[in-house]
């Protein structure tokens, strides 16, 4: 009798451990960036840079929507503004503030270019993203690159 009692928890904990381990191992972990984060990868990957992650929350704490979307001419469309470094250096788009005067300057490349390489342009956590067009995210980037 004591041997039966002692054997049962062994089996259960082993199976539970295996199952939990298997879940961590097999289940793809969804990205959980902040609501409103925009990944912009129009040209970055092709130029050998990480895609840009734009945090809306960070900017709306400091500026009203109007500053960028009316004064600076940002369209309401992820990737729809065709922003390039040349335009930024020229004082357009991000460059209106990220010039070392209002906000830090463009030499901090990796502060913006901080996304996981290969992430497509998308509006993170948006309703359209969740319901209609989930961002393509290869589970194995190496295999995906090989199959193209």
Residues 87-126 contacting another protein, CB under 8 A: 96-97, 102, 108-111, 113-117, 119, 123-124, 126
Binding residue (CB under 8 A) for another protein from 33, 85, 89, 106: 33
Query: Which range in 6-14, 40-48, 81-89 contacts another protein by CB under 8 A?
Result: 6-14
For residue 4, state whether it binds another protein (rule: CB under 8 A).
Answer: no
Q: How far is the CB of 31 from another protein (least distance, A)?
A: 3
Q: Rank residues 47 and 64 by Cβ distance to another protein and give the closer one.
A: 64
Dist CA 39 CA 33 (whole Å): 10
Pairing between β-strand 122-123 and β-strand 52-54 as defined by DSSP bridges: unpaired
Residue 98 has phi, psi (to 5 degrees) of -80, 70
Interface with another protein, residue 85, by CB under 8 A: no
Q: Does 6 bind another protein (CB under 8 A)?
A: yes
Give the H or E element holding residue 82: none
* Cα distance between residue 3 and residue 1, in whole Å: 5
Q: Which stretch binds another protein (CB under 8 A): 2-10, 40-48, 86-94?
A: 2-10
CB neighbour burial string for 112-130, b if at least 16 within 10 angstroms, e if fewer: bbebeeebbbbbbebeeee
């Amino acid at each position: 009798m004591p041997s039966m009692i002692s054997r049962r928890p062994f089996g259960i904990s082993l199976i539970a451990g295996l199952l939990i381990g298997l879940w961590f191992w097999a289940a793809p972990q969804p990205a959980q960036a902040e609501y409103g984060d925009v990944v912009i990868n129009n040209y970055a990957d092709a130029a050998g840079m990480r895609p840009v992650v734009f945090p809306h929350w960070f900017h709306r704490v400091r500026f009203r929507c109007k500053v960028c979307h009316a004064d600076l001419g940002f369209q309401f469309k992820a990737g729809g503004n065709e922003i390039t470094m040349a335009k930024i250096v020229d004082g357009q788009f991000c460059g209106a503030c990220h010039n070392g005067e209002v906000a830090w300057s463009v030499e901090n490349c990796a502060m913006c270019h901080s996304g996981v390489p290969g992430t497509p342009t998308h509006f993170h956590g948006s309703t359209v993203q969740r319901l209609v067009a989930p961002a393509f995210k290869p589970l194995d980037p190496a295999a995906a690159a090989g199959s193209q």
